A and B are shown apart, each in its own frame.
Chain A
């Protein structure tokens, strides 16, 4: 079975400052990794995914994440946040393409002016 831990439940950050959201996972098999964003009263939107290949993955809206197999981590970063990045962010894993997603508890990002 897989599990995902998002180490920060809330991250306040000033506009134009960088942000890093931490995600650690555990699994007995190789996994695929995802970051999703959820804006208030909406569903989930995929930011980026790691399936294989380069460990640095670039996504939409200027986000990127780095897969670290030895640390079993998949941290999400953005060099300069905007007010519109205020949302909840979820890290997720699956053991195969099309398989069920196991989500972390989420990190709420609040961007302050």
Chain B
């Protein structure tokens, strides 16, 4: 089982550009959540996708958008990048509701210059 995989691992973008990050959930999981972790802070919830629909959303601007595909993989898109968007972006997948456990990927380190 490959677990949760994210790509790319590192990315450098220029302010104002757009970026797409990708996530493949753990086998058997149908729910994908995205988190932003700024340096020295805890992860902050961006949004969650289930059955290709955004089900929950955190306090992030509309510049942050996402998508879930029929195979449950997901993308996070960020438009009009700001320096403050520099962070580790974590994807988490979950499946068995009763277990209440989310499995995290290694993350994508985004640097905006």
Q: Residues of A with Cβ closer than 8 Å to B?
A: 4, 6, 32, 34, 36, 42-46, 49, 51, 90, 92, 94, 96-106
Q: Are A42 and B106 touching (Cβ within 8 A)?
A: yes
Report the count of interface residues on B (CB-CB < 8 A).
Answer: 27
Q: List 15 A-B contacts (CB under 8 A).
A: A42-B106, A43-B4, A43-B107, A44-B43, A44-B104, A45-B104, A46-B101, A49-B101, A90-B42, A98-B94, A98-B100, A99-B56, A101-B33, A101-B102, A106-B41
Query: At the interface, yes or no: B8 with Cβ under 8 Å from chain A?
Result: no
Interface mask (B89-109 → A, CB under 8 Å = 1, otherwise 0): 010101001111111111100
CB neighbours (8 Å) of A104 from chain B are 42
A100–B33 contact, CB under 8 A? yes
Interface residues, chain B, with chain A CB atoms under 8 Å away: 4, 31, 33, 35, 40-45, 48, 56, 58, 90, 92, 94, 97-107
Please, which residues of chain A bring their CB within 8 A of the CB of B33?
Answer: 100-101
Contacts of A44 in B (CB 8 A): 43, 90, 92, 104
- B29: min CB distance to chain A, Å: 10
| A49 contact set on B, CB distance < 8 A | 100-101
Contacts of A94 in B (CB 8 A): 100
Q: How far is the CA of A103 from the CA of B4 in the complex (A)?
A: 20
With a cutoff of 8 Å between Cβ atoms, the chain A residues found around residue B45 in the complex are 100-102
